[in-house]
Amino acid sequence: MTTDSWVNETLYPDWGQRFRVVRELARVQSEFQDIMIFESASHGRVMLLDGAVQITEADEFVYQEMLTHVPILAHGDAKRVLIIGAGDGGVLRRVLQHRNVERAVMVEIDGEVIRLAKELLPNIAGGAWDDPRAEVIVGDGIDYVRTAQAGSFDVVIVDSTDPVGVGEVLFTEEFYGNAARLLSERGIVVNQSGVPAMQADELRDTSLRRQTAFADVWAYLAAVPTYVGGYMTLGWGAKDAASRQLPAKELRRRAEAAGILGQTRYWTPEIQAAAFHLPPYIAEHLPTAG
């Protein structure tokens, strides 16, 4: 492509964003989805799946930090973390920044996403692929959670596309029920729940499904510029409601012990404590009051 080329995101039929393309790096039709990676003029390298922006080098840290650090620090003693999806490796990298994590299992259904991320987006994961605590599986996350041993993980992080196509099965009652079974006593599951201004149904429906398996169901906020539409919500399911009610002082203590304090670009103890306080236009789509 030439510098006069543009890529238009196709997530919404009536609204979107576009990027000026400096250079197209890859366009692959995998067994599961259309994968495109290009060098943009404004946001570094960008990955699209089926025409929807998944990650950009410019703002990936917002999403990755909030999806990862919030549940791990809320738990307080998470040693075993399961990651579903997240083929770019960014969540795996953030999980492994926690020195107390002993085992991180990542299950990504599309091996082409991993291959292309390693080749063309190496800065996203850094050295996470080679960390001895990491186990990377190319396989079906649904099958993995269905057969995993009860109580074998402390935190489950789901980083998937929206609940259509290959990602749809990761937003079902069956999935959340199996996630609750494989989680330990104070276990937590988080997943992206869309931008409520445009995807309120996604937040409402997935929260209702989590409610069948978890005592505490809520959501928290992250502002990711390239996930257009205002705040993005990250869905939350916990066995212990106290996990999301921690003061910034305690979160700071835990972050220091974990070795991530001062190492982040978006997450702070105060940001985490505040992220669960939702504007009314978002809270009204949740089935429970927090």
Name the maximum alpha-carbon separation found in the chain. Answer: 55
Residue 259 has pLDDT above 50, yes or no: yes
Residue 253 has pLDDT above 50, yes or no: yes
Q: Is 4 a catalytic residue?
A: no
Q: Rounded CA gap, 72 and 98, in Å?
A: 8
Does the pTM of the predicted model rise above 0.75?
yes
Residue 289 has pLDDT above 60, yes or no: no
* pLDDT of res. 166: 44
Q: Rounded CA gap, 145 and 130, in Å?
A: 24
pLDDT in tens, 5-25: 999 999 999 999 999 999 999
Residue 162 has pLDDT above 70, yes or no: no
pLDDT in tens, 201-240: 999 998 999 998 999 999 999 999 999 999 999 999 999 9
Q: Which fold has domain 60-283?
A: Rossmann fold (3.40.50)
pLDDT in tens, 23-64: 999 999 999 999 999 999 999 999 999 999 999 999 999 999
* pLDDT of res. 265: 98
Catalytic residue among 159, 205, 216, 240: 159
Where in the chain are the domains?
Answer: 5-56, 60-283
**Domain 5-56 sits in which CATH superfamily?**
Spermidine synthase, tetramerisation domain (2.30.140.10)
